[in-house]
Amino acid sequence: MTYAITQTCCSDAACVAVCPVNCIHPTPQERAFGSTEMLHIDPRACIDCGACADACPVDAIFPVDSLRPGLRPYAEMNAAWFEGAPEQEAPEPGTRDGGGRGPGAAPREEGGAPSAAPAADPAPNFHLWGRPEFTRVLPADFAPLRIAVVGTGPAGMYAAQDLLLHTNAEITLIDRLPVAGGLLRHGVAPDHPATRRAGEAFARFHSHPRVRMYLGVQVGRDLSAQELAAHHDAVVYAVGASSDRPLGLPGEESPRVLPAARLVAWYNAHPDVAPDAVDLSGVRRVAVVGSGNVALDTARILACDPASLAATDIADHALAALRDADVREVVVLGRRGPEDAACTRGELLALTHLPGVDLVVDDHDPRIGAAIATARPGGRAAVLRGLPRGSVAPGPPPSGRRRIVLRFHSAPTDLRPVGTQGGILVTGGTGAAGGRGPYALPADLVVRAVGYRGEPVEGLPFDAERGTVPHEGGRVAGMPGTYVVGWIKRGPSGGIGANRACAAETVGTLLTDAVGGMLPSPRGTVRAFDRLVRRRAGRVVDARGLRLIDRAERARGRADGRPRSRLATVEELVAAARGPWRPGR
């Protein structure tokens, strides 16, 4: 029996470090790491020890013979990666290919391609480890640093974890919201509880003896970047990308056009979004613009039976609204073909197993069927093979079972209502030459899901075109002691695990600067900073308050037979942090 990595893989490589036979790839040292959607276990080399499953922070690894039907294709996906499919380079058995090539690697010809001469392979079912690399060297008398991390999402917590585990630094955790978690709490879909479980690994650092936590404190509002820097040796900003990318089309500001960022925040009980911010009354057909994971998340949440969400921690107001709504059809518009969809294979595969929801491919363009028919095993388009084909009717959506329609080679050109059905104009009209003709797609609501965008941080430079803070290896240009990590550093790309490597780079740069004497010495003391924050921000939540919020939400959930019932406003969160939750409070 071997193990396989499945849909919820976060690619943080915790499993790689514990594998005794190095059979999980790509590793962080390999070229494909960071570009592959997930990690893979070589079934030929796996020795069934289960160490990877124990280490996985998101419960994505299972024995192959115990995979439920919806996850069984992942066994083939894992094996196929080592056979050269899909488009990643698979390491040859006995080598550590890409970046950190180890002993036994095949020699390379000019241009980087492996030569025909095979490498010596003393153990065909064993992947050799490369030589260990020590990229950081700290002097024995390295003095403790006082470092502030702004943002408690995955990027910030990976940075804090790195510093706490490998240095004697003291960490100040700051978040503008009175609750920690960032993307894990407010970005991951509620029907992906395993992915959210990664937050449990970070939670152990919230009450670490070298951590001080200040939740509900916003840099730029309660204290300036300069004041924060004056009390710390270094500041790491992990503020993410909170706004959405606009389409730049007519009608985009209409109430019937909803940014995916707002919808995701709404069903995840984000305090910035009011419970009545999304109105689904009278909505029967939704058009989702985009084909990435967020687009599929929103399509899935809108189309699925609300009864299936009752066992999750979806916001109470969102669950009530979905129960009252009558969404029958969600049309996902992808600008490119199925082989180039922006989503991962795992998210696409999950749609094919959504209970009570039919998944249909709109075959308005002959290129779509051709791409699916010729798709290589393991590719995105191959996931759609065997699905029914159909089209979006000009009238109301069909009655009966709900359905999600994937309409590739189709993009909106005008979001203003057209026709009696209030449609939007999209490319790819039926019968149009090359699939480029205009088509009035009936839609009661439009969700734009074409990516997130970072916002300026007061006191820091900002690249308005990229939506990021300019940096060099995480070091903010012209601001000694100031660093960035996560989406505000590299842009909104990569999942949860990608932040681990990103944080390692930033922390490495910070420590290099510290050893080189390039960090400014803090002028203020720890006690002075505590007084400053509490004077400026009246409702500060610490680690104890965060534990009380967690208990309150779990208690509310138990009362309704759910794992958790989220507190959705700042006032509720702060009240819970100040004392035990009681029914009716």
Helix %, strand %, coil % of the chain (to 5): 30, 15, 55
Judge whether 157 lies within some domain: yes
| Same structural domain, 27 and 127 | yes
Q: How many CA atoms does the CB half-sphere of 273 hold within 13 Å?
A: 23
Q: How far apart are CA 88 and CA 311, in angstroms?
A: 37
Q: How far apart are CA 230 and CA 277, in angstroms?
A: 39
* pLDDT of amino acid 418: 87
Q: How far apart are CA 525 and CA 531, in angstroms?
A: 10
User: Where residue 412 sits, what CATH number does that domain have?
Assistant: 3.50.50.60
Q: Which two tokens stand for residue 460?
A: 């820091």
Judge whether 138 lies within some domain: no
Name which of 370, 274, 291 is nearest 335 in CA terms: 291
From 450, 472, 491, give the residue that closes a domain: 450
Domain count, the chain: 4
Judge whether 23 lies within some domain: yes
| Same structural domain, 278 and 369 | yes
| Same structural domain, 274 and 414 | yes
| Same structural domain, 357 and 442 | yes
| Same structural domain, 522 and 387 | no
DSSP-based three-state secondary structure for 245: coil
| Same structural domain, 170 and 220 | yes
Residue pair 578/564 in contact (Cβ under 8 Å)? The answer is no
Judge whether 179 lies within some domain: yes
* pLDDT of amino acid 583: 53
Q: How far apart are CA 406 and CA 291, in angstroms?
A: 9
| Same structural domain, 438 and 462 | no
* pLDDT of amino acid 430: 56
Burial class (CB in 10 A: 0-12, 13-18, 19+), 114: middle
Number of residues in the chain: 585
Q: pLDDT tens digits for the chain (585 residues)?
A: 799 999 889 999 999 999 999 999 999 888 888 778 899 999 999 999 999 999 999 999 999 999 998 899 999 999 989 986 443 334 443 333 333 333 233 333 333 333 333 344 444 467 888 888 788 889 999 999 999 999 999 999 999 999 999 999 999 999 999 999 999 999 999 999 989 888 888 999 999 999 999 999 999 999 999 999 999 999 999 999 989 999 999 999 999 999 999 999 999 999 999 999 999 999 999 999 999 999 999 999 999 999 999 999 999 999 999 999 999 999 999 999 999 999 999 999 999 999 999 999 999 999 999 999 999 887 899 999 999 998 887 778 888 899 999 999 999 999 999 877 788 999 986 544 444 568 899 999 999 999 999 999 999 999 999 999 999 999 999 999 999 999 999 999 888 989 999 999 999 999 999 999 999 999 999 999 999 999 999 889 999 999 999 999 999 999 989 999 999 999 999 999 998 755 554
Residue numbers of the domain that contains 66: 1-133
Residue pair 261/281 in contact (Cβ under 8 Å)? The answer is no
| Same structural domain, 294 and 353 | yes
From 109, 133, 157, give the residue that closes a domain: 133
Judge whether 585 lies within some domain: no
Q: How far apart are CA 12 and CA 34, in angstroms?
A: 10
Judge whether 234 lies within some domain: yes
Judge whether 141 lies within some domain: no
| Same structural domain, 404 and 479 | no
| Same structural domain, 271 and 395 | yes
From 419, 450, 481, give the residue that closes a domain: 450
> Under 8 Å CB-to-CB from 574, ≥6 apart: which residues?
178, 216, 539, 541
Q: What are the phi and psi torsion angles at 250 (to 5°)?
A: -60, 140
| Same structural domain, 446 and 461 | no
| Same structural domain, 410 and 550 | no
Judge whether 108 lies within some domain: yes
